[in-house]
A and B are shown apart, each in its own frame.
Chain A
Amino acid sequence: MSRLQEKYALELLENGKRIDGRKFEEFRKITVEKGVVQKAEGSALVNVGMTKVVAGVKLEIGEPFSDAPGEGVLIVNCEFSPIASPDFEAGPPGEDAVELARVVDRALRESKCIQLDKLAISPEKVFMIFIDLYVLNHHGNLLDASALAATAALTNTRIPKVEDGEIIRGEFTGSLPVVFKPVVVSVCKIGNRFLIDPILEEESVIESRLAVGIRDDNKICALQKQGSGTFKFEDVERMIDIAVAKSRELRSFLA
């Protein structure tokens, strides 16, 4: 990002305007396409403006966590592939990718969107649900796009047939029991203004943001402050209000 672009983005935001002419509480054009990866048990491709994330769900057989016997296991992973941005480097996930995966994980897990207790195969064996998030083009707001892709992919996931303790790939017995559709809305703070869905140029000048994981019944299931700025007490309430209001719009793309 050049200094000039940053300065331009900042000047506009301080005057209540955005580079692409959107309102402060307006998403870019969003599309969600499910079932895009043939080999995955579930998948979704999400475009938020030029930002593109694909989520793939694979089911494996494994052992439950010792503190949750008889329950399926959910694992979220994220990679920022160098194909998506000159700023991404090859190698094991860095702290930003790890943080993104962990926030998406918490939003899904804490919302109890999947009935994990219905994923036992035998007393010792359960289904493990691996959600892998791949960023294909980074143009800002990766977290909201990734969470949307993850939830969309889960609603698209089929449970494979199991015979003699082995998964029969390509044959299915039903759909994953998904009972909620949590989404994440990140609300960004600049001066005394709040905005959603920042593009890359805006992200580089925003000092702080609050990612809010929200369930269908408006319950807050995850919060994560990001960035090196600070919030006032009242900011948090305002940001949650904006996030909850916008969550319905985001969820409408999951229908």
Chain B
Amino acid sequence: MKKEVKLFVNGRRVDSRLPEQLRPIDMKVGVVSRADGSAEVRFGNTVAMASAYGPRELYPRFLQEEEAGILRVRYNMVPFSVDERKSPGPDRRSMEISKVMRLAIEPAIFLEDFPKATVDVFVDILQADGSTRVTGINAASLALASAGVPMRDLVSACSVGKIESTLVVDLNGVEDNNSESDMAVAMMAGRGEITLLQMDGELDKEEVMKLLSFARENCRKIYELQKQVLKEYREGE
């Protein structure tokens, strides 16, 4: 039998949060001096680091696109980021996540401004405690912006879900493993456009829309934090 985990005690979550409360968020920009842009984002105990490079020339040449540049994104969990060591290198999960992250970020970048070139973003999850892909997207977006890559908007992301019949924001690892549903959302919050939407679980449409509105509200909060940290970084340069 599955081990029963109590996810709510007196209306508080395992880390004493309220249902609609984000974990403590910390964002730093310019953490890798060799990268064109970089960022480290923490959502509670989840830590994602991202480096961005480019626009730079793309080789081999046959990969080049005549009319627009390309974006490449790699999501990677480091072996010691989880309880049981994850063997290094891509697996099916990270292949899928890398793809959806690329599609979440691509709409924000003026790729048409640099044909034949590439922008590369590498996201490493150093510590995993739930919601790693959205934390990674927040870091990737900051890394790109700090690299000076021309962007329509920042991309801000958060997770929402349903645990013990309650709709919640920003699932941690225990909640993620025991959730009835979880949903990952990324938005260009300034433009109100959704760039990532993934859900699994068991929800009716009303619950989906309610969760999506929670996600929108919190993506806006994260967006403000991202703008703030970029502003401070520019002023400090």
Chain A residues in contact with chain B, CB under 8 A?
Answer: 67-70, 95-96, 98-99, 101-102, 106, 109-112, 210, 215, 218-233, 235-237, 240-241, 244
Complex: A226 Cα to B103 Cα, angstroms: 8
Tell me if B95 and A98 are in contact (CB < 8 A): yes
Given contacts A68-B2, A236-B212, contact A220 B196 (CB under 8 A): no
Where chain A touches its partner, the secondary structure class is mixed
Residue of A nearest to B215 (CB): A233
Given contacts A95-B99, A233-B216, contact A69 B1 (CB under 8 A): yes
Contact partner, B204, options A67, A106, A219, Cβ 8 Å: A219
Give the residues in chain B near A236, CB-CB below 8 Å: 194, 197, 208-209, 212
Kindly state whether residue B96 has any CB partner on chain A within 8 Å.
yes
Complex: A69 Cα to B3 Cα, angstroms: 10
Give the residues in chain A near B213, CB-CB below 8 Å: 233
Give the residues in chain A near B99, CB-CB below 8 Å: 95-96, 99
Q: Which 6 pairs of residues, A with B, have the shortest CB-CB distance? A: A230-B193, A223-B199, A225-B197, A231-B194, A106-B200, A228-B106
A15 → B minimal CB distance (Å)? 24
Q: List 29 A-B contacts (CB under 8 A).
A: A69-B1, A95-B98, A98-B96, A99-B95, A99-B96, A99-B100, A215-B202, A219-B202, A220-B203, A220-B205, A221-B201, A223-B199, A223-B208, A225-B196, A226-B103, A228-B103, A228-B107, A229-B107, A230-B191, A230-B194, A231-B193, A232-B193, A232-B194, A233-B213, A233-B216, A235-B194, A236-B208, A236-B209, A236-B212
Most chain A beta-carbon neighbours within 10 Å: one of B93, B100, B107, B197: B197
B139 → A minimal CB distance (Å)? 20
Q: Type the 1/0 row for B170-212, where 1 means its CB is closer than 8 Å to any CB of A.
A: 0000000100010100001001111111111111110011001
Residues of chain B in range 63-101 having any CB-CB distance to chain A below 8 Å: 92-93, 95-96, 98-100
Give the residues in chain A near B197, CB-CB below 8 Å: 210, 223-225, 231, 236
Complex: A101 Cα to B106 Cα, angstroms: 23
Give the residues in chain A near B201, CB-CB below 8 Å: 110, 221
Tell me if A227 and B103 are in contact (CB < 8 A): yes
Give the residues in chain B near A222, CB-CB below 8 Å: 199-200
Complex: A232 Cα to B1 Cα, angstroms: 42
Tell me if B199 and A233 are in contact (CB < 8 A): no
Seed contacts A220-B208, A224-B198, A232-B193; 17 additional CB < 8 Å A-B pairs: A98-B96, A99-B95, A102-B93, A110-B181, A218-B205, A221-B202, A224-B100, A224-B199, A225-B194, A225-B198, A226-B103, A230-B107, A230-B193, A230-B195, A231-B194, A233-B194, A233-B216
Given contacts A95-B95, A223-B183, contact A111 B202 (CB under 8 A): yes
Give the residues in chain A near B212, CB-CB below 8 Å: 233, 236
B203 → A minimal CB distance (Å)? 5
Give the residues in chain B near A111, CB-CB below 8 Å: 202
B209 → A minimal CB distance (Å)? 6
Complex: A99 Cα to B191 Cα, angstroms: 28
Complex: A220 Cα to B209 Cα, angstroms: 11
Complex: A96 Cα to B95 Cα, angstroms: 9
Tell me if B96 and A102 are in contact (CB < 8 A): yes
Complex: A218 Cα to B212 Cα, angstroms: 18
Residues of chain B in range 94-134 having any CB-CB distance to chain A below 8 Å: 95-96, 98-100, 103, 106-107
Most chain B beta-carbon neighbours within 10 Å: one of A106, A219, A220: A220
Tell me if B205 and A240 are in contact (CB < 8 A): yes
B213 → A minimal CB distance (Å)? 8
Complex: A240 Cα to B212 Cα, angstroms: 13
A186 → B minimal CB distance (Å)? 13
A113 → B minimal CB distance (Å)? 11
Complex: A232 Cα to B194 Cα, angstroms: 6
Tell me if A219 and B103 are in contact (CB < 8 A): no
Tell me if A110 and B2 are in contact (CB < 8 A): no
Complex: A36 Cα to B95 Cα, angstroms: 32
Contact partner, A232, options B2, B106, B192, B204, Cβ 8 Å: B192
Give the residues in chain B near A220, CB-CB below 8 Å: 199, 202-205, 208
Give the residues in chain B near A102, CB-CB below 8 Å: 92-93, 96
Tell me if B2 and A233 are in contact (CB < 8 A): no
Given contacts A102-B96, A220-B204, contact A225 B1 (CB under 8 A): no
